[in-house]
Structure 1
Amino acid sequence: MSELFDEVDEEVRREQLKKLWDRYSVHFIALMVLVVAAVGGWRGYQYLEAKKAAEAGAAFEKAAELSDQDKHAEAEAAFTELAAKAPSGYRTLARLRAAAEAAPRDAKAAAKMYDDIAADRSVGGEWQDLARIRAAGLLLDSAPYAEMQQRLEPSAAPKSTFRHSAREMLALSAWRNNDMTAARKWLDAIGEDGETPPGLRSRAEALQALLPPVAKS
């Protein structure tokens, strides 16, 4: 008797499944098609992105080779072209390299290129800081201390990645512009920072030895 009930239950389940299939089969098939299309689209996107990255990497290497051969004008043009069409990571690197290639030709123009990177929030904070430091380095010998202060003070903050370089340039700029109070301030900041690199610390100590003694009150 139990076997008969089992057969009846099985038949009822089959009938229920058949009704569900008849009712929802179109939706199920459509869903499966969408899933397959989505997976295929994602795989295609990954392939295209990998291809773009590989092409950008090869173009970057060729531009770097031009720089190694002292063909700086050609290298600058190649990096500039790459920056216009490369994926985001290579784009930022190419912009930085283009500015570096322009520096021997025209320091002010190169500084402007770095300034443009520093002002571009899409490149990320550390890249912006690096561009800011490099621009300031090109203008260190010519810019007044007030300009260097405006450029570099944010990068000289205690937690900034490039604070050591920023403080050194601020100290040098203040010294060259005869602002000994500001120079001492930045040299003290260098000396008090336990993470200051040894080479930079030695240079700061040498510069501090050139400062006039603090007047006694």
Structure 2
Amino acid sequence: MADIFREVDEDLRRDRLKAFWDRYGTAVLVLAALVVAGVGGWRGYQYYQHREASQAGDRYQAATRLAADGKADEARKAFAEIGTSGPAGYKSVARLREADEIAKTDKAAALRLYQSIAEDGSADAMLRDVARLRGAYVAVDAGSREDVRKLVEPLASANGAWSSLAREALGLAAYKAGDMAEARRQFEGVVSDADAVGNVRQRADLMLAVLPPAPAAPAAKPTN
């Protein structure tokens, strides 16, 4: 008797499975195909990204060698190509190097490129800050005091890793514009910054030594 019930139960399960498959079998096959295609597509995309990054890395190294060999024009073109068509991880770095090469012969054009990178919201934040600083130092020679201010004033006021360099650029721009009081204020800010990077504090000390002395504070009026 138990065998009969078991056979009936198995028949019912087969009937239910057949009914389920008749109703949903096509959807199951389609879903399975989509899953397989999705996994395959993702793997293909990962392979494509890896290949693009590897090729961009090779191109970047080749451009770097051109720059090291003194072939500035060829290096600039190579960096420009990567900055235009390379993967996201290399674009901003290549554009920075392109601007560095341009700065050797055309500071005004380099400044425009640095400004463009600094304003590019899709670029890495640190690379944008580097573009701000490099652009500011170029702007001291080839731009205006306002160009310098727009580029690095946010960095100078943030008291971050770049603040001492930003203050130095602002001080140099003020000195060039003849604003000795502002130049002194910026360089004194660098000297008092315990976290000033590199030898920027020594350079600020030298600038303070050549600046005219700060005007003496007016003597207090005697009171009756």
The verdict on a shared fold, with TM-score over 0.5 as the criterion, is: yes
Distance 2:189 2:196 in 1: 9
Task: Write out per-residue CA displacement over residues 154-181 of structure 1, whole angstroms, 9 at most, x where no aligned residue.
Answer: 1212254422211111122223333232
Judge which range, 127-136 or 193-202, deviates more: 193-202
Cα deviation for residue 112 of structure 1 reads 1.4
Aligned residues: 217
Q: How far did 1:26 drift?
A: 0.7
Q: Trace 1:73-152 onto structure 2 (pairs within 5 A).
A: 73-141=73-141, 143-152=143-152
- What amino acid sits opposite 1:215 in the alignment? A
1:167 aligns with 2:167: yes
Q: CA deviation at 1:140?
A: 1.6
| Overall identity of the aligned pairs, in % | 39
Distance between the aligned counterparts of 2:91 and 2:10, measured in 1?
A: 64
1:190 counterpart letter in structure 2: V
Gaps of 5+ in 1: none
Q: How far does the alpha carbon of each residue in 1:163-206 deviate from its partner, in whole angstroms, 9 at most, with x for none? A: 22111111222233332321232234324433223622233233
Alignment root-mean-square deviation, CA: 2.2
Aligned pairs (5 A) from 1:1-217:
4-141=4-141, 143-197=143-197, 199-211=199-211, 212-217=213-218
The one-letter code of the counterpart of 1:73 is: D
Contact persistence 2:136–2:147 (CA under 8 A): no
**For structure 2, which runs of at least 5 residues remain unmatched after alignment?**
219-224
CA displacement, residues 131-152 of structure 1 (integer Å, 9 cap, x when unaligned): 1211111122354544422332
> Is the contact between residue 126 and residue 161 of structure 1 (CA under 8 Å) also seen in structure 2?
no
CA spacing shift, 1:124–1:188, aligned 2, 3 Å = same
Q: Partner amino acid for 2:105?
A: R
- Cα distance between partner residues in 1 of 2:129 and 2:197: 18
Contact 1:67–1:75 (Cα < 8 Å) also in 2: yes
For 1:213 and 1:159, the matched residues in 2 are separated by: 25
Report the alpha carbon displacement of residue 46 of structure 1 after superposing the two structures with TM: 1.2
How far 1:128 moved relative to its partner? 2.0
